[in-house]
Structures are given as C-alpha cells and as structure tokens.
Structure 1
Amino acid sequence: MTIDFSGKVVIITGGAGGLGKAFTLEFARLGAQVVCNDLDPAAGAAVVAEAEGLPGAIHFVGGSMALPETCDAIVARAAELGGADVLCNNVGIQPPTSYVPAHELDDGLWDAILTVNLKSYFWMVKRCIPAMQAKGRGVIINTASVQGLQSQKGAAAYAASKGGIIAMTRQLALEYAEDNIRVVAIAPGTFDTPLLRDVAAGIPDKGYMERLRQAYPMKRFGQPEEMARVVAFLASDGASFMTGECVTVDGGIMAQGGWAQ
C-alpha cells in the first residue's frame, strides 16, 4: 500500500525532538504540509532544515503547550494552509524529579505534567474539530504510553496523564464517529529518544536502563522511525475502519507482562 499525504495538513505537537521529530519527518516524506510545534526553537529550525528537499514541508510554530495561546497559534498556521486533516497530539514531559512516591510529588509538578500531557490534547482537539467537521473527515492520533496501561512505582503523574489520554481517545472516537473523524491512541514502549536519556541521567541507579532493555522480549528499545511508520499508517486511509483503539508498539513488553521479568 502506498501512503501519500500530498495536499494534507498535519499538526504535530512536540514535533521537533524524539518521537515527534520522527513523525514530522515521516509526514514530510509522504508529502504533507506539517505544522510542527516545539518548545525549543533551535530544534525547530533544525528539523525544518533537515526536511529540505522532501516532498512535503515543515512550518514551525514555537511555544509551550502549557499555554492555550500556543494552541491558538498552531491552529491559525494550519488554517492558513487549509486546515488540519490530521492532528498528532504528541507532546509530553516526564521530568526525572517527578519519579518519587506519590505522597512526595509536588503539586506544581503534578499540574505541569497533567497540563502538558493531557490538557493540551483537549485544547488542540477543541480547536481542530471544527475544521475537520467542515471538511467531512479527519484523524486525531494521541500519544499515550504503555505506562497508561501498566505502570510502575514512582510515576504517578505521568501514568495518570497517559491513562487519561487512552480514556479520552475512546470518548472522542464515539463523540465524532458520525463526523467521519477517527481518533486513535498509540502506546509506545521504551524508545531511544533524548527524553529517555534525560530520564536515565536523573535516575541514581545507573544499571536500571540496561535491566529495562533486557526485560524487553526483543532485547532492545524501539527506534523513533519505527513508531513514525505506524503513525503514518494509522493516519492513512489504510486504517479507515479503526477508531477508539489504543495501538501498542512496544517490542512485546505488554505481551510478556511484569510478572515474567
């Protein structure tokens, strides 16, 4: 099956680094006009430069997804290009300092994680749905995590945000099915991204990451490009009868389950 997003407008939040960067470049390779948001303007400039010569193009909009005005700016840029056909709610934060028992977690850090990881998804949906309804179709892909399905100690806010994304995905899928708007979540396992390296650097146990790697049935972490190919398929007409699902891409870790480690 050939996937072609020529003439389509795709929004990706958190799109200049990690998994988001891979999504941004994949959609540009497939011909899309990609509106890419990121907090880091240098990373945004770098991904725009990397996409030069690709069939599509990247339009960078900087700003924090903790601010509703950033959402306004992203959607306004997409409207200039014809309005969003695909929304990839991908932004997420996972500060190493948040990995503490729940009763020790600072309220402000809880609020920051839930605002970026979950509330910004709601904000973006509110702003993108009208254009999708006007077009008579659309796709929303929400980045959750295996930690929204099966968690671990010390990740109260992050796990709550990812579980909330999965629940919201189901609700939105039912809400907008009759508008021909599909809503799907993805649950990545551990991928080799800068966020992973930041988390590793903040954990005192320096052997943890290697133990985690060995816990995966495939004995490796995923590469961002592997996730990007799945996302492009889910956004394509090849997945036209899929909505309300959470697609796990995790090298088999959820199939194995924690008891087997």
Structure 2
Amino acid sequence: MPHTSTAVEIRELSSPTDLQQLTHVFDDVWHPDPGNRPVSVDMLRALSHAGNYVAGAYVGDRLAGGSVGFFAAPVGRSLHSHITGVSRVGRGHNVGHALKMHQREWAVARGLQTITWTFDPLVARNAYFNLTKLGAVPLAYHRDFYGELADELAGGDESDRLLVSWSLDSSAPEAPTDTADDLLRVGARLGIDVVADEPHPVTDIGSDSVVIIPVPRDIEAMRRTHAVAAARWRIALRAALAPLLGPAGTERTTRFLRSGHYVVTPDGD
C-alpha cells in the first residue's frame, strides 16, 4: 500500500535491484567500512520474503531513504525497527517522519501493538524526533550495544544505544513548553555539569529529583573534529543517564527538549 506525504512516496521493496539501491542509500548515510555494512542485499531479500518490513522512500523517482524492521518478541505484538536512514536527496522533505508513519500503519494493519528501536542517545536531533515528536518511551540504556561499527558517523566511539518503545495506540505528545532553565529554577538537578567545555557527570542526585541532562548540539561533527571531547561526552552521558533507566528503583518519565536536554522525572511529579 503506497503511502504519500507531500512529495514523498513510501513503497515496500522486495526485488534485488531495489534492495541494492537501498543499501546504497544506507551507505550514503553512514559511510560504513565496506566489510561491515549495516545490511546486505541478501539479508534484505530474506527479510522481505519472510514478510518483514522493508520499505523505501522516494522523492520523485529517486530513492531517498529507507527503513528495515522485523517481527520481535513478544510474538504477534511487536516490530523491531532495525535501521532507518535518509540520504542527502531526502533532506528537507520530512522523509524520516513519512517512513515512521508508514511503518506505524504497516504494523497496525498486522495487529501489532508496539514498535521498538534503538538510537544513539548522544544524537540530539534523533532524541528530539523519537521522544518528543513521535512519543517513543525509553526502556533501557545499553552500553556498546553493537560493538565496533566502523562507520563515519560513529567514528571510533562505542555504540551505546537507548532502546525505546512506541505504542501504536498512542497519539503524538504535545511538545514541551518548559525550558531547562525553568526546571532548574524550581529545583531540578543537572545530571551533567559542563566546566570549561568538559562534561562531568553529577552522582549525588536523589531518586526523587527531576534531572536535566544536556548533550552536544552536533555530536557527529564533534567526532570528526574533536574525537577526544566526543568520547568524554559518551562516558559522561552513560554515567548520568544509564542509572536512571535501569530496571530497579523509581519509575521515571523521560522527555527531550529542543534545546538539547533530557528531562528525567520521577513518575507522579
């Protein structure tokens, strides 16, 4: 079922030719080591043939993005979205949003209840898109989830990931109107203190506190120009955010502000 959003058309892909083009799109996004590409044509063909989600986004007649997902546990209830990327051709066309909406419709049509995926919690634009625009909910923080990725976006950094779940019967949340400064004025605590451009995790925070955790505006650019500084941010965010998303302790709600801050709030506050 084609799904069109403005100038973007989403199509399910299955032919080897189309799947080859999709791998080129992913190469354009991640610039991976040729020996460690995100997905291969044969794997995409197998996933598509077995009834999983393999889709491409076209701007005009050009493939500009794509998404790949597979059925996950619990059986019959969840889709895991493994990879979604938008090439330079798709920028400015809301391709990423169109892909997620199509993926949602696809999953609902098959009686599924949730879509899960992982993303790098240091990438601010992805955190805002996933948590604020879509309303996905963080489930866990995973340290070095994929091991070494060897692609240009990751650089030499460890592949920490935030696992999120998107309920398919929920509506998009309202964008937060408060700011980090507003919250700090009424008692929130900083989870990372930035001193002389260096991030330092704050560890003496009570479990009943609202925690504000900043991330860099563009960690991917920082990895290209200041790799050591980027690695320090990875360590600091891991120390500040991971304990708040563990299975034990107070249940919390996590939001992300456009200013580049996680807001982690004890449920009930």
TM over 0.5, yes or no?
Answer: no
* TM norm structure 1: 0.29
* TM norm structure 2: 0.28
- Bigger relative contact order, structure 1 or 2, given CA contacts below 8 A and separation 6+? 1
- Larger Cα-atom Rg: 2
